[in-house]
Amino acid sequence: MSTAKLSQKNQIVIPKDARQKMKVSAGDTLIVHTINGITLLYPKPDRIASALQSLATGAYQNSYLKKERDAW
């Protein structure tokens, strides 16, 4: 685990090991999300739809999906 210090200009430097794990470099855009006082940083994907596409995979059993689709 690494640490970062907030500068007088309210800026931080993301430690090298974190940048490498996130696969980001200078000029990349990051998404900053804060939940209950915890801040998450992650690289902004080129296409949001592609990033969300497989997010819910396995959320429903196949039998449930078939039943719902047949109801249409």
**C-alpha closest to that of 18 among 34, 51, 36, 40:** 40
C-alpha distances in angstroms, 48 versus 15, 23, 29? 26, 17, 13
pLDDT (tens digit, 9 = 90+) per residue, 24-60?
999 999 989 898 999 988 888 877 776 676 666 777 7
| Residues 39 and 24 sit within 8 Å (Cβ to Cβ) | no
Domain 11-45 class in CATH: mainly beta
DSSP state at residue 44: P
Reply yes or no on whether the pLDDT at 61 is more than 90. Answer: no
Please, what is the end-to-end C-alpha distance for the chain in angstroms? Answer: 50
Prediction pTM value:
0.59
